[in-house]
Amino acid sequence: MELLEAIEKRRAVREFTDAPVERASVERLIHAAVLAPSAMNLQPWAFAVLLDRQRIEDLGDRAKSHLLANFPRTGPVASLRKTVEDPHYVLFHRAPALVLVLATSSEAQADEDCCLAAQNLMFAARGEGIGACWIGLARPWANLSSTKVELGLPEHYAVVAPIVLGHPKAWPASHGRNAPEIHWLK
Ligand SMILES: Cc1cc2nc3c(=O)[nH]c(=O)nc-3n(C[C@H](O)[C@H](O)[C@H](O)COP(=O)(O)O)c2cc1C
């Protein structure tokens, strides 16, 4: 798939078939992720991968409980409370694969670098016909010390991008985009 086509056709995918995501596919996506630019080429990222649908759902249930117990009271996320409270709302969308993009340092621009790696990973997934969805709602739980200990992640790493992957039941239609606000500077 051409780059612009992948950019135009990428969608947040939240419904997946029963097909697993192969380890080799995830390795290819991570290969694409680490081609992202990073400040001073520090490459301050690491990746944690889980390929077990049931375990992902279980972790998602706990992330959801943590979220509901600490739900933001203000800002755009606050408006999602009713949606997330629905017992049928599954945080990780029953995906067969979960990738956590981790910042390995607290350098000032490590988060930005990890976001670029995450974006590369999602575009590469689109190129392979794999659906991806960034699950920001899981981030507070993922960054708890207890979660990192349980998952065997170094405690000083920060989870920047929890991303679920799977084979889409269908590619969702675009939500469209607002016209960009552009300031042509003189
Ligand atoms: C930082 C970030 C956090 C997101 N968090 C969630 C999330 O927790 N759950 C979810 O289902 N989608 C999440 N999304 C997906 C967005 O809702 C989605 O990208 C947006 O609605 C635009 O749709 P599109 O990606 O199909 O163009 C997140 C996306 C980003 C970039």
- CATH number of the domain residue 120 falls in: 3.40.109.10
Domain contains 111: yes
Domain contains 114: yes
- The mean pLDDT value for 47-72 works out to 97
**Helical ranges in the chain per DSSP H:** 3-9, 23-33, 53-69, 81-85, 110-128, 139-142, 145-151
Domain contains 21: yes
pLDDT at 1: 79
Predicted TM-score (pTM) of the model is: 0.97
Residue nearest to atom 1 of ligand 1 (CA): 136
Domain contains 173: no
- The mean pLDDT value for 81-103 works out to 97
Is residue 14 lining ligand 1, measured as CB closer than 6 Å? yes
Domain contains 18: yes
Rounded mean pLDDT of the chain?
Answer: 97
Domain contains 48: yes
**Segments forming the whole domain that contains residue 106:** 3-166
Q: Tally the domains of the chain.
A: 1
Is residue 72 lining ligand 1, measured as CB closer than 6 Å? no
Is residue 136 lining ligand 1, measured as CB closer than 6 Å? yes
Backbone angles phi, psi at 61, to 5 degrees: -60, -40
Is residue 63 lining ligand 1, measured as CB closer than 6 Å? no
> How many angstroms separate the CA atoms of 96 and 90, rounded?
13
pLDDT tens figures, 116-127: 999 999 999 999
Please state, as a whole number, how many other Cβ atoms lie within 10 Å of the Cβ of residue 171. 13
Closest-lying ligand 1 atom to the alpha carbon of residue 91: 9
- Could you tell me the distance, in angstroms and rounded to a whole number, from the CA of residue 62 to the centre of ligand 1? 20
Domain contains 181: no
Is residue 12 lining ligand 1, measured as CB closer than 6 Å? yes
Backbone angles phi, psi at 24, to 5 degrees: -60, -35
Is residue 126 lining ligand 1, measured as CB closer than 6 Å? no
Domain contains 178: no
**Helical ranges in 80-173 per DSSP H:** 81-85, 110-128, 139-142, 145-151
